[in-house]
Amino acid sequence: MDISLICKVLGTSEVFVLSQIELTKQFMTGRATFLEYYVASYPFTSATLFHVLLMPIVFITGVLTHDVSQVDRLWSILPTATVLHYAIHSYLNGIGSLRLYIYLAIALSWSIRLTYNFARKGGYNGYEDYRWEVLRSKMSDFQFYVFNALFISIAQLIILLCITAPAVIFVDVGNEGLYTGDYVFATLLAACVILEAAADEYMWNYQSAKHRYKETGEVAKGFTEKVLKRGFCTIGIFAYSRHPNFLAEQCTWVVPYLWSSYLTGKLINWTVIGALMYVCLFQGSTSFTEEITSAKYPEYKDYQKTVGRFIPNIGSHWVEVLEEDQGTNAKL
């Protein structure tokens, strides 16, 4: 491990990094109590240790249960728990700030809403994300085993750790008063949570209506038979963005980084890694999701040509037409 490289990335001293390593060793060997370690350690250090200890647990659980959605079940909970950790740590050290508590409150609203959405889809009832099954079918058992270890159980937890890193900047800034920019970024962050909630609710209503139509032939209010037969949602906010919920989700963790940049007065700081990894993750996972969807619904390719993946195309959106009209969509 190149300590000097770590120090350069974090913008800190080698003495500090070595002290954190020594403190962690003392805790792991029983020479320091949990409370002593917790209060004395740098909050990102203790958060990192927790995520590292969690990695073999989710991997072993996934192998034993043949269900690799263990991290999926932590996805809406772990980031907020980490931000809560930063808030508690800063409070115990007498440097808690209203800024950090506001961030925690918004993160908590994101967590509650996303956990509820995941639960009502059966996420905590033995449901494994369908994409893992598709990916499993494309790999040998050994390849998927390695993928489970390196990406699902390790990389994903690293991402969940790093997306909350801007809160460490809030801790470092301390309990100074709020600036105008704090109100702006808090409002933007809350708007992201609201947008994602609205998009997920609309998609839930569509999927519920689609399944009801398949079972009973009933067309729910607000939908048409043609829209439900198509199999994927193209109306409402989804007429302008194919994944407005994914857009809002990415922004939910990019905005805190921009907030931290505002506080430091620097466009780039070490916590950018979390925002970058999250955006890259969604680029890859969305491409894989759309590959599955377009194979299932041929008309999805037309939808892709008309509607932007995340950001709406200027002057173009999906237009539903009557059965007797020519064509399937039009560009405005």
Given this model, what pLDDT does residue 276 score?
Answer: 97
Give pLDDT tens digits for 110-140.
999 999 999 999 889 878 888 999 999 999 9
As a whole-number percent, the residues of the chain with pLDDT over 90 amount to: 76
As a whole-number percent, the residues of the chain with pLDDT over 70 amount to: 92
Q: How far apart are CA 190 and CA 94, in angstroms?
A: 27
Q: pLDDT averaged over the chain? A: 91
Residues 6+ apart with CB under 8 A from 241: 247, 307, 308, 309, 310, 311, 312
Place of tokens 């989804």: 238
Q: How far apart are CA 228 and CA 243, in angstroms?
A: 18
Burial 52-83 (b: 16+ CB within 10 A, else e): eebbeebbeebeeeebbbbbbbbbbebbbbbb
Given this model, what pLDDT does residue 32 score?
Answer: 86
Q: What are phi and psi of 241, to 5 degrees?
A: -140, 135
Q: How far apart are CA 96 and CA 86, in angstroms?
A: 9
Give pLDDT tens digits for 39-81.
999 999 999 999 999 999 999 999 999 999 999 999 999 999 9
Please give the model's pTM, rounded to 2 decimal places. 0.89
Q: What are phi and psi of 308, to 5 degrees?
A: -65, 150
Cα separation of the two ends of the chain: 56
Given this model, what pLDDT does residue 12 score?
Answer: 67
What's the mean pLDDT in 86-96? Answer: 91
Q: Which residue has the higher pLDDT, 220 or 3?
A: 220
Give pLDDT tens digits for 136-175.
999 999 999 999 999 999 999 999 999 999 999 999 888 8
Given this model, what pLDDT does residue 278 score?
Answer: 97
pLDDT band at 13 (very low <50, low <70, confident <90, very high): low
pLDDT band at 331 (very low <50, low <70, confident <90, very high): very low
Q: Please say whether the beta carbons of 109 and 194 come within 8 A.
A: no
Given this model, what pLDDT does residue 328 score?
Answer: 44
Given this model, what pLDDT does residue 316 score?
Answer: 84
Residues 6+ apart with CB under 8 A from 153: 55, 56, 58, 59, 62, 70, 71
pLDDT band at 327 (very low <50, low <70, confident <90, very high): very low
Residues 6+ apart with CB under 8 A from 87: 96, 100, 101, 104, 167
Q: What is the dihedral of CA 235, 236, 237, 240, to 10 degrees?
A: 50
Closest to 310 (Cα-Cα) out of 290, 331, 330: 290
What's the mean pLDDT in 94-108? Answer: 93
pLDDT band at 268 (very low <50, low <70, confident <90, very high): very high
Give pLDDT tens digits for 191-227.
999 999 999 999 999 999 999 999 999 999 989 999 9
pLDDT band at 325 (very low <50, low <70, confident <90, very high): very low
Give pLDDT tens digits for 277-295.
999 999 999 999 999 999 9
